[in-house]
Amino acid sequence: MKKLMSIGFTIALLGIALSTFAQGYHVRIGTIGNSITHGVVLSDPATQAFPALLNNLLKDVYGDTCIVTNYGLTSTTMLKNGDIPYWECQQFRDYLSNVPEICFIMLGTNDTKPQNWDVHGDEYIGDYLSMIDTIKQRNPSTVFLLAYPPPAFYTQWGIRDSVIINGVIPAIDSVLKIVDAELIDFYHPLLDSGHLFNDGIHPFEQGNVVMADMLLERFIETDLIHKADTGNTFITQFETSLSPLRLGDSAVLSWTSINADSLLLDGIKVDQEGSLTIAPEESTTYKMIAYGQKGNDTLSLVQEIYVPELAKLTLNPYKVTRYAGDTVFFQTYYWDQLNRKITDTHYTVSWEITRGSGTTFNPSDTSIFFIVESMDADTSTLQASYEDIIGTAEIITRKTDAVTGLSQEALFKVFPNPADQVLQIQFLAPASKLEVELFDIHGKLVMKNSLTNVLSHQEVSLDVDNILRGTYLLKVSIGENFFVEKLSIR
């Protein structure tokens, strides 16, 4: 690696001037980049990545007047048509919201991948210029520092050094001929520094130290800090907690600002940082204006409203495996056109076993019980429908010779079946608390008894003399388990 210029003497010469400058300047620097900028291979990117190290170095030189924020995100491209465009990530939206005075850009490494450069490489210059224009729309006085990316010492993940040197770097040179920006070269000075890079692409901690030192040197050489137009007024955040918002629900508008003397939200004065709960009845545009000594800033936000419509019906669980005689409890879930769960509206659903066998009881708009009846391996399908919207669940029956674990036969016996006047239940194991319920075949509760401190082999008699003849379902709940048996009353 070419020897880096010592900056100690330069810093010493700047000492007096910078101490005076530090009293009035406050410069925000944002670094846009991919995994190299983010510091993906580092154990603590927040402190070890070169943007964080630069922040400390600038503090040593300029005092507490500079703040560097890392907006890097792994795998991203400058190309809008790349496989992971930086344009679409939250980090770029955050950058535009916070409006730094100095913008560092280092995107191009992932653009060299065949699926990106070989198909869309001729769009790189235009997309680069478009990004600069987009940033200047938020802050016309932004100072730009563009970077040649470091060498790719190995071909990894499709990243090609030949495209960096023959494609990306000439494209950045073309951008520099059009826009007013400074350049930092991370390529040529690091050509013999492969030992600083973890996998041939990403710098180790020491590599980040070197890159931070190079950046500080470039900041001082170009006097970037003094070129920054500070003190401008901006709304740095103006957002809603949820959009689109379902009619009848509420959302929270939140905002922050910088260098603002006053803020107006739809003409009403609000704090420089705050929030407001809203529940509009239709899509509404909210307008915020910030006023400061060095200008104003205006942002608008549209809170979209929609009326939910049932679009999907699902059953939970949607697939289970049980033994014959087991009972499964199914619940319905309703989803709207935005795939959001509908919880305050119930729909009159129809239940049907469309395949296999089983018995259902206690149906409602939100749930149903299903008794597995097949004694051999089989699959049954339970269907819930509302108009033309259908939800299904599969119940797979295990063969009875595979039964293990807790079983009804080990807990209680029911006799006689069919029953005439009295139904006997003999409990074969003690239980501190249990519940006995009798449902008709339509799911209507006919009888309910709660018992405590039941002894082993204790028998309980149920008077069924006044119950109409027919088929019923006896549900016995013991702790977290419940069992259902079909019986007849004659």
Which domains, and CATH codes, for the chain? 8-227 (3.40.50.1110), 235-306 (2.60.40.10), 310-402 (2.60.40.10), 408-489 (2.60.40.3080)
Backbone angles phi, psi at 378, to 5 degrees: -160, 165
Q: What pLDDT does residue 375 have?
A: 58
Question: Is-above-0.85 flag for pTM?
Answer: no
CA distance 450 to 411: 16
The dihedral region occupied by 45, where left means phi > 0, alpha psi between -120 and 50, and beta the remainder, is alpha
Token pair of 151 as six digits: 């060498």
Q: What pLDDT does residue 148 have?
A: 98
What lies within 8 Å, CB to CB, of 311 at 6+ separation is: 335, 336, 337, 339, 389
Are the C-beta atoms of 119 and 81 separated by less than 8 Å? Answer: yes
The owner of tokens 């319920």 is 437
Q: What is the Cα 234 distance to its own chain's centre?
A: 28
∠ Cα 377 379 380 (to 5°): 135
Name the helix (H) or strand (E) containing 436. Answer: strand 431-440
Q: What is the Cα 230 distance to its own chain's centre?
A: 34
Q: What pLDDT does residue 455 have?
A: 84
Q: What pLDDT does residue 67 have?
A: 94
Largest CA distance in the chain: 107
Closest by CA position to 71, among listed 114, 120, 106, 26 = 106
Peptide bond just before 416 cis, omega within 30 deg: yes
CA distance 331 to 311: 17
Are the C-beta atoms of 285 and 307 separated by less than 8 Å? Answer: no
CA dihedral 253, 258, 264, 269 (to 10 degrees): 90
Output the 3-class SS for 8-65. Answer: HHHHHHHHHHHHHHCCCCCEEEEEEECHHHHCCCCCCHHHHCHHHHHHHHHHHHHCCC
CA distance 313 to 346: 11
| pLDDT mean by block of 10 residues, the chain; 490 residues | 42 41 68 97 96 96 92 97 96 94 98 97 98 96 97 94 98 97 98 94 96 97 93 93 94 95 96 96 96 93 96 93 82 94 90 90 88 75 95 83 49 85 84 86 83 85 87 81 80
